[in-house]
Amino acid sequence: MEFISGKHIPRRTFLRGAGATVALPFLTAMVPAGRLWSRELAKNSQTRLICIEEVHGLAGCNEWGATQNLFAPEKVGRDFQLIDDSALASLRPYQDQLTIVSNTDVRMAEAFTPPEIGGDHFRSSAVFLTQSHPKQTQGSDIYCGTSMDQLYAQRFGQDTPMPSMQFCIENLDQAGGCTYNYSCAYTDSLSWASPTEPLPMIRDPRVAFDMLFGAGGSPEEREARRQTRKSLLDWIAGEVATVKRQLGAEDSLRMDQYLNNVRELERRIEMIEVRNASGEERALPEAPAGVPDSFTEHMQLMFDIQVLALETDMTRVISFKTGRDAQNRVFPESGSDRPFHPASHHGGREEGVMEFNKICTFRVGQLPYLIDKLQNTMEGDSPLLDKTVVMWGSPMADSNLHNHRRAPLIFLGKGNGMFEGNMHIQAPDETPMANAMLTVLRGLGHEDMKSFGDSTGELSLTSASSVSQGG
């Protein structure tokens, strides 16, 4: 821990103990004496970006499902209404933070040549954040594009300890070739540092926790610390006390709340590990001990880790893959007993579409937990949600047809004024989803960017009369 006593605590303040390193959130004491609070806060308020991929599209992107407004609401513009059967119904309390973008296409996920026909599930994920068409290969000569999260991280994330973080829910550690002559790198990777560099994703909450709070120690030190059954906060208690002597009452309360959140997250991971090591039968027998069998519990743990990472400015860029294409997991909490992939092939039957919609609604229904966390995490006098862009979408639309036209896309948060919220944008026909992503990248600071993926121009994300503008 290093700071200038009597002046200010640097933004990059770490509390260190054996096998533990804990970064601090933004505090009033981090504003140098004599400087304006608003100016210093603005300097520490680079927009955060969370990109979340859904596989298999949505039931509301089926031709009949669209007529029922199961994804896009009937009204375009402000003050739209989400019906009870909408997959987005759980987001109604956050409508002022919600921007829905309908009618955009992910054509780069389509088959370009006859040998690619049928391989949509095995190239789609690689397309979502790159909007580039993957080279069909099972060899080492993979080629796709640089993903938007990595473009942002490479330019604006280099002054954080972790320029970006990548997370996933399902088992993605497949090796070699997948089906339809595609490398598993395309199926398992959401973030691409370059067209030939897919980035690995973290599934185990323990691994993610140690990345955030175990830096500076060896794996052996971290394991030894855990074996003592003491919280990592016990190892930094002396440093906590030293820092708190420098803080005012409000900062001290803020720090206590943050450390309590860290401890609660650590406790939950430990409980899951104990339960999964008990010898009882598991729903996910191949999963690491830190991975819960419950989809909801796993999602919430990963969201908690993400918010702590953003809150401490350990990173500003996160990608999150919530599923794996063609998976057969069952989600009992959704009210459906159908496996995910078979349910998505509903045959266009109304009954089948509504059954798949149960699963879609359940999966989208995990988002309010993240939005609540971001809304209730303050940075200065503003919620973190106001400074964050949460992009959720899918490179597939109607998975029954392996269709990539009119794919779902939504944004949550204000992104430091980039979004107004309470808006349904209906893009003109044949608008690439890449147009919306280009607009976001330019809003994030890439003003010099002329194109992204197969974009044809920008797509206004604040006006109901959205038109694609030539680049």
Do residue 199 and residue 245 come from a single domain?
no
Count CB neighbours of 20 within 10 A: 24
Exposure string (b/e) for 153-174, b if CB count within 10 Å is 16 or more? beebbeebbbbbbbbbbbebee
Quote the tokens at residue 139.
Answer: 């060899």
Q: How many CB atoms sit inside 10 A of residue 79's CB? A: 10
Provide the greatest CA pair distance for the chain: 69
Do residues 43 and 241 make contact, with C-beta atoms less than 8 angstroms apart? Answer: no
Residues 6 or more apart whose CB falls under 8 angstroms from that of 8 comprise 29, 30, 31, 32, 33
How far is residue 284's CA from residue 300's CA, in Å, rounded to a whole number? 17
Same domain, 67 and 120: yes
SS3 386: helix
329 plus 454 within the same structural domain: yes
3-state secondary structure of 379: strand
Domain boundary among 289, 318, 341: 289
Same domain, residue pair 402 and 448: yes
Beta-bridged to residue 35, according to DSSP, are: none
Q: What is the pLDDT of residue 231?
A: 82
Are 234 and 168 in a shared domain? no
SS3 468: strand
Whole-number Å distance between alpha carbons of 437 and 428: 15
Whether residue 331 sits in one domain with residue 228? no
DSSP string, 2-49: --BTTTB--SS-EEEETTEEEE----GGGSPTTS-HHHHHHHT-PPEE
Pairing of the two strands 457-459 and 468-470: antiparallel
- Rounded Cα gap, residues 306 and 149, in angstroms: 15
On whether the CB atoms of residues 187 and 178 are closer than 8 A, the answer is yes
How far is the C-alpha of 188 from the C-alpha of 246, rounded, in Å?
Answer: 46
Query: Is residue 282 domain-shared with residue 295, that is, in the same domain?
Result: no
Residues 217 and 194 in one domain: no
H or E element in which residue 303 lies? helix 295-311
| Lookup: tokens for 112 | 């370009």
65 with 148, same domain: the answer is yes
* DSSP string over 51-108: EEE-SSB-GGGSHHHHHTTSSS-SS-EES----TTSTTGGGGGGGGGEEEEEEEE-GG
What is the pLDDT at residue 233?
86
CA distance 327 to 319: 20
Q: How far is CA 331 from CA 121, 243, 359, in A?
A: 20, 45, 7
Indicate the pTM of the whole model.
0.94
CA distance 255 to 276: 32
Going residue by residue through the chain, which has 471 residues, state the pLDDT in tens, using 9 for 90 and above: 443 334 578 888 888 877 788 999 999 888 876 555 555 555 557 999 999 999 999 999 999 999 999 999 999 999 999 999 999 999 999 999 999 999 999 999 999 999 999 999 999 999 999 999 999 999 999 999 999 999 999 999 999 999 999 999 999 865 556 789 999 999 999 999 999 999 999 999 999 999 998 754 566 666 666 666 668 888 888 888 989 988 999 999 999 999 999 999 999 999 999 999 999 999 999 999 999 999 999 999 999 999 999 999 999 999 999 999 999 999 999 999 999 999 999 999 999 999 999 999 999 999 999 999 999 999 988 999 999 999 999 999 999 999 999 999 999 999 999 999 999 999 999 999 999 999 999 999 999 999 999 999 999 999 755 444 444
* Residue 112 lies in domain: 48-203+291-470
Q: How many folded domains does the chain comprise?
A: 2
Q: Please say whether the beta carbons of 430 and 105 come within 8 A.
A: yes
Measured between alpha carbons, how far is 295 from 313 in angstroms, rounded to an integer? Answer: 27
User: What is the structure's pLDDT at 467?
Assistant: 43
- Residue written as tokens 């999602």? 299
pLDDT given at position 464:
59
Question: Does residue 196 sit in the same domain as residue 212?
Answer: no
Residue pair 226/214 in contact (Cβ under 8 Å)? The answer is no
Give the DSSP H/E element, type plus range, for residue 186. helix 184-188
**Residues facing residue 51 across a β-bridge:** 319, 391
Residue where one domain finishes, among candidates 258, 289, 320: 289
Residues 299 and 254 in one domain: no
What is the C-alpha to C-alpha distance for residues 329 and 343, in angstroms, rounded to an integer? 10
**pLDDT at 97 (0 to 100):** 98
On whether both 400 and 263 belong to a single domain, the answer is: no
**Which of 259, 289, 319 is the last residue in one of the domains?**
289
Q: Output the domain CATH number for residue 187.
A: 3.40.720
Q: Is residue 47 within 8 Å of 418, Cβ to Cβ?
A: yes
